Amino acid sequence: MENILNIAAQYPWQMWIVFATILIAITLFMIERMPLELTALSAIVWLIIFFHSFPLSGEGENHHPSAAFLLAGFANPALISILALLVIGQGLFQSEALERPARILAKIGRIHALLALIITLILVFAISAFLNNTPVTVTFIPILAALARQNLSAPQKTMMPLSFACILGGMTTLIGSSTNLLAAQSAVEAGADSILFFTPTIPALMLAIPGLLYVMIVMPYLLPKDSEDFAETKRQRSGGGRQYVSFIEITPGHGLIHARAIAGLFPAIHDMSPLMVKRGEEALLPPFEDIALRAGDTLIVSASRQTLTTDLQSGRDLFGISKAEQNENAAEELAITEAIVAPGSRMIGRSLSQLVFRSETGFIAMGIRRQSRMIRSQMHNIRLEAGDVLLLLGPRAEARKLGQTHDLLPLEWSAPATKPEGALKAALIFAATILAVAANLLPLVTATLLGATAMIASGILNIRQAARSIDRRIILLVASALSLSAALDVSGGANFLARAVVGATPDAEPAIILSALFLIIAIITNVLSNAAAAVLFTPVAVSAAFELGVHPEAFIVTVILAANCSFATPIGHQANLLVMGPGRYRFRDYLKAGGPLIPLLWLVYIFLIPRYYGF
C-alpha cells in the first residue's frame, strides 16, 4: 500500500478528477436514469471545461488538452471504420444477400430442425468474424424462430445461443466487432504497434471454440425446460400464450356500448382480460363492479395474438379497423405480424402518434408487449422502448420490409418470392472490402469507406438508408469513451494504474497479471458497453506491458478477448438486447445461462493464452 501511495504522489491531482469522471459516467451508463447520449455529451463537455479551467502543468498539447484534442474521438479512424462497416452490413441486409443460406437452412429445418439449428449457429459464428453483429442477428432471429417452431420448442432455446454465437465469432478478427477495432486503435494511440487483421484469430479461436461447444451442449440445460416449452406451444395453439396490451376505443355505435362488467369481467369479451377503463381524465381499475361502458371510453385489455387474429377474421371488429382496412386493401391479403423495436431505433422514446406510425410503415399497431412492466397508458401516448414487441396489422406482402431500416425487427421469416436485387453486388463489395483489409492492400479505414461508398454508388442503398444504418448512440458512446481514454492517458491515469498493478505484485509473472486483467475486464464489460470497456482498458494494458518490459500484443489481445465476454447481462452487448424480446428472456436468464461462460473462458485463457505468447 505504501508503495502505491508513493507512486500516486508522482501524478497531478487532475488525474483523480478524471478517475471520478470515469466512475460517474460508467455509473450513469449502467443505471440509464438519463439518456445515454446525454451522459456521453455531458462527460465530453465536462472534460473540456475542466481542462480549460485547470490545465496540467507543463507545455504542449499533452499538458493543455484543448477542445480539439478531447473531441478527436469523433474523427477517430476506428470509429469511422465502424460506421462504414455498419453501412456495408446494411447493404448486405437490404439486398438480402444472406437469404440464400437462409433458404437452405429452412429446407434442412423441415427435415431435421435440430441439425439445422446447429448448422445455423456455426454459420452465424463464421459470418460474425467478418460482419458486424447487428445485421447478422437481425437476419437470423426470424430464421431461428421458425426453426424453433418446427422443432416444437420455444424461442428461449434458440435466441440466446444466436447472440452468443455472434459474440464469440466476433472475437476472431480485427473487424469482427467494433470492440476489436477500438482496442487496436487505442493501442496505437498509447504507443503500441498496429495489430493485423488476423492477429487475434488464433487466441480467440482457443476461447471461442470451447465457448461455442458450451452454447450448443450445456446452455440448453440452463434455459427453460422442454416441458415448459411444450406447454407454451400448446397455449399458443389454443389461443393463449404471449399476451399483448391492446386498446379498444368505444366510439358511438360500437358493439360494446352499455356492456356491463360482471364479477370483474365483461362477458362480451370473455377471451380478453380487462386491465383498465379510461373515462376522460379518470382511470377505472380492476376489480370492475357494475361498470357499463360508454361512448368515449377506452378499454385497455390483455389478449393473445390468436385472440386478436380471430377477432379480425370473425368480423366482430372490436377495434374498429378490420372493415376499413379490408376495403382499403381489398387486393391484398391482410395479416397480423410481430415486430420488435430494435436497440438504436429512431422510434425509441417517441410515441406512435409522434411517429405517424401508420403512414410511415403502412401498418396499424394493434397491441404492445413490454417485458419490464404493465402498460396502462393509451396506445398512441406510449413512448416506445428498445425490446417492445408490437403486434401489427397490414398487408402480408409488406411484412418483410419492416426490418429494412433496423427500426423494427420482424419476428417471422419467409423466403422472398423473387430473387433479391443487388445481392450479388453487395456480396462482391463486402468480399472485396474484407480481402483488401486482410491482405493489407489498403488501410482499414480506407477499405471500409470505399466499401460503404460502393454500396451507395451501386444503388444497393440510397443515402437515407445508409444514414439510418448509423446509430447515434454508437457515435456518442464511442466518442465519449475515447475522450475519457485520452483524458486518462494525458493525466497519467493509465500509467498510474499500470504501475500500481505491477508495483502491488512486484514478483508476479506477466501471465498472472494478464489473467487478472482478463477477469476484471470480462466482469466490467457486462455492466458497461464492451466498446467503452475496450477503449478505457487498452491504454492501461499497454502501459502495464511497457512497465513489465514485454511486447504489448498479448495485453492488447487480452483486452479484445475479455471485452467481448458480454454474456451475463442483456446490456453488455447489442446482440443480447436484440434477442431479449424475441426470446422472452429476463435479466436473470442471462446471468444463469451466460454467467458460467465467463469463468469457463477465463480458465481456458489461463491455461492456453499465456503459453501461446511464451509467458
* pLDDT (tens digit per residue) in 202-225: 999 999 999 999 999 999 888 866
* Cβ-contact 479, 79 below 8 angstroms: yes
Secondary structure of 34-69 in HEC code, one letter for each residue? CCHHHHHHHHHHHHHHHHHHCCCCCCCCCCCCCHHH
- Give the C-alpha separation, 4 to 496, whole Å: 9
Question: Cα separation of 337 and 451, whole Å?
Answer: 34
- How many CB atoms lie under 10 A from the CB of residue 523? 16
In the chain, pLDDT over 90 holds for what percent of residues?
A: 21
- Give the mean model confidence (pLDDT) for residues 165-169: 94
Q: Which pLDDT score, from 0 to 100, does residue 241 have?
A: 54
* Confidence class for position 403, pLDDT limits 50, 70, 90: low
- Structure confidence at residue 463 (pLDDT): 87
**Residue 366 near residue 319, CB atoms below 8 Å:** yes
Torsion angle (degrees, nearest 10) of CA 140, 142, 148, 151: -90
Strand order in the sheet with 273-279: 282-284, 273-279, 298-304, 243-249, 364-369, 389-395, 334-341, 408-410
Local confidence band at 418 (pLDDT 50, 70, 90 cut-offs): very low
C-beta neighbour count of 472 within 10 angstroms: 12
In this structure, of 74-83, 141-150, 171-180, 313-322, the range with the lowest mean pLDDT score is 313-322
**147-156 tens-digit pLDDT:** 776 665 666 7
548-559: string of b/e by CB count within 10 Å (b at 16+)? bebebbbbbbbb
Question: Cα–chain-centroid distance for residue 369?
Answer: 19
Cell triple for residue 397?
406482402
Rounded CA-CA distance 112/27 in Å is 46
Q: Closest Cα to residue 7, out of 506, 486, 487, 482?
A: 506
**Separation between Cα atoms, residue 235 and residue 219, nearest integer Å:** 25
CA 299/CA 376 separation, integer angstroms:
10
Q: CA 577 to CA 92: how far, in whole Å?
A: 21
Name the residue among 137, 142, 117, 115 with its Cα closest to residue 127: 137
With beta carbons less than 8 A apart as the criterion, state whether 536 and 179 touch. Answer: no
pLDDT, the chain, mean: 80
553-601: per-residue pLDDT in tens?
A: 999 999 999 999 999 988 778 788 778 777 778 878 888 999 999 999 9
Q: Which residues pair with 410 in a beta bridge?
A: 339
Tell me the C-alpha distance between 417 and 403, whole Å: 17
In angstroms, the CA 371 to CA 375 distance is: 10
Please give the pLDDT value at position 106.
67
Q: Is beta strand 282-284 parallel, antiparallel or unpaired with respect to 408-410?
A: unpaired
pLDDT tens-digit map of 30-84: 776 777 788 889 999 999 999 988 888 765 555 568 888 889 888 888 889 888 8
**Cβ(368)–Cβ(382) below 8 Å:** yes
Give the contacts of 403 (CB within 8 A, at least 6 positions apart). 93, 138, 339, 409, 410
| SS3 of residue 289 by DSSP | coil
Please state whether the predicted TM-score (pTM) of the whole model is above 0.75.
no
* DSSP designation for 218: I
* Higher pLDDT among residues 133 and 331, named by residue: 133
Higher pLDDT, 386 or 252: 252
230 — pLDDT class (breaks 50, 70, 90)? very low
The pLDDT of residue 406 is: 64
The mean per-residue pLDDT over the stretch 100-126 comes to: 78
pLDDT tens track for 2-38 = 566 676 777 888 889 998 998 898 788 777 677 778 8
b/e map of 372-385 (b: 16 or more CB within 10 Å)? eeebebbbeebebb
The continuous run of DSSP H or E covering 263 comes out as: none
pLDDT over 50 at 240, yes or no: no
Please return the burial class of 310, using the count of CB atoms within 10 Å of its CB with bins 0-12, 13-18 and 19+.
Answer: middle
CA distance 238 to 232: 10
pLDDT of residue 60: 53
Look at residue 597 in the predicted model and tell me its pLDDT: 95
Confidence of residue 237 (pLDDT cuts 50, 70, 90): very low
d(CA 89, CA 166): 14
Give pLDDT tens digits for 292-312: 888 888 888 887 777 777 766
Cα separation, 575 vs 351, in Å, equals 24
CB 597 within 8 A of CB 214: yes
d(CA 550, CA 335): 62
The answer to whether residue 235 scores a pLDDT higher than 60 is: no
Report which of residues 306 and 513 the model is more confident about.
513
- Runs of H (alpha helix) within 54-130: 67-70, 77-94, 99-111, 113-128
How confident is residue 229, by pLDDT bands cut at 50, 70 and 90?
Answer: very low
CA 86 vs. chain centroid, Å, equals 13
Q: What is the DSSP pairing of strand 389-395 with strand 364-369?
A: antiparallel
For the ranges 89-93, 165-169, 218-222, the one whose mean pLDDT is highest: 165-169
